[in-house]
Structure 1
C-alpha cells in the first residue's frame, strides 16, 4: 500500500510546487467562501460565514484557516507587501466577524479569502504560468 507522501503527490495536494499550492488554495477558498448556495439565488457562502455565527471560537478558527492561505503565499516566495495585504484581509475579516451574530453579515460580502485567492492567482499566473487552469 502506498504511503501518504506518495498518495498526496499523485493527487497533487502534498507537494510544494506551485501547481500543488494552487490546487490547495483554490480548495481552501471554495471551502471557506463557496461551498453552499443560497436557495433561489446564485449567492454562495461557505464555512467562513457559518463559523462567524459561533461567537469567539468561530472567528478564531476562520482566521486560522484564512491565515493558512497567507502562509502558502509566503512559501511561494510572493513579495512581502502581497502577503501583508492578505494578512490585512484576514485581520479585517476577523474584526468584522468579532461582532456577535451581526458580524456574519459584512463577512458574507467582504470575502477575504476570495480576495486573497485573487492575489495569489495573479502572482502564480505571472511567475508560474504553467499552473493556470482554464475555467469552463
Structure 2
C-alpha cells in the first residue's frame, strides 16, 4: 500500500464512524438523521460521554493524517459544542439531531486534507526546473 491508499482507507474508516454516529437512519419524510450519538445522548451523563469518545478519536486520527491546526481546533469546537449543548435535557437531544458534529468534522477533514494536498502539489510543481527548448 502506498501513502495515498493508506489515507483513502483511513478516510473511509472515519466516514463510516461519522455516519454511524450521526446518520444511522433518516426520519421518514424529513431531512433529519438519527445516529448512535443521538441514541446514546438519551442516557443522561453516561450516554453523552460514550458518544463523545468516537468524536475525540476522529480528531486524533485527523491529527495523525496531517490536518492543519486550524482544522483540528475547529473540529474540537464542533465536538465540545455538541457535548455541552447535547448534555442539556430535551433541547440537547433536538440539537444533536440537527447539528451532526461528526459529519461536520469529517467533511471539514476531507476538505482540509484536499486543500493541503493541492498546496503541496502546487509547491512541488514550482520547484521543477523549467527546460527551454
Q: Based on CA coordinates, which of the two structures has the bigger radius of gyration?
A: 2
* Equivalent in the alignment of 2:128: none
Q: Does 1:85 align with 2:74?
A: yes
Equivalent residue in structure 2 for 1:26, among 11, 15, 35: 15
Q: Please, what TM-score do these two structures have when normalized by structure 1? A: 0.76
- 1:26 and 1:90 map into 2 onto residues whose CA distance is 16
- 1:103 and 1:110 map into 2 onto residues whose CA distance is 10
Gapped runs of 5+ residues in structure 2?
Answer: 119-133
- 1:77 and 1:86 map into 2 onto residues whose CA distance is 13
* Equivalent in the alignment of 1:48: 37
Partner-residue secondary structure (3-state), 1:29:
helix
Q: Does 1:116 align with 2:105?
A: yes
CA RMSD of aligned residues (A): 1.9
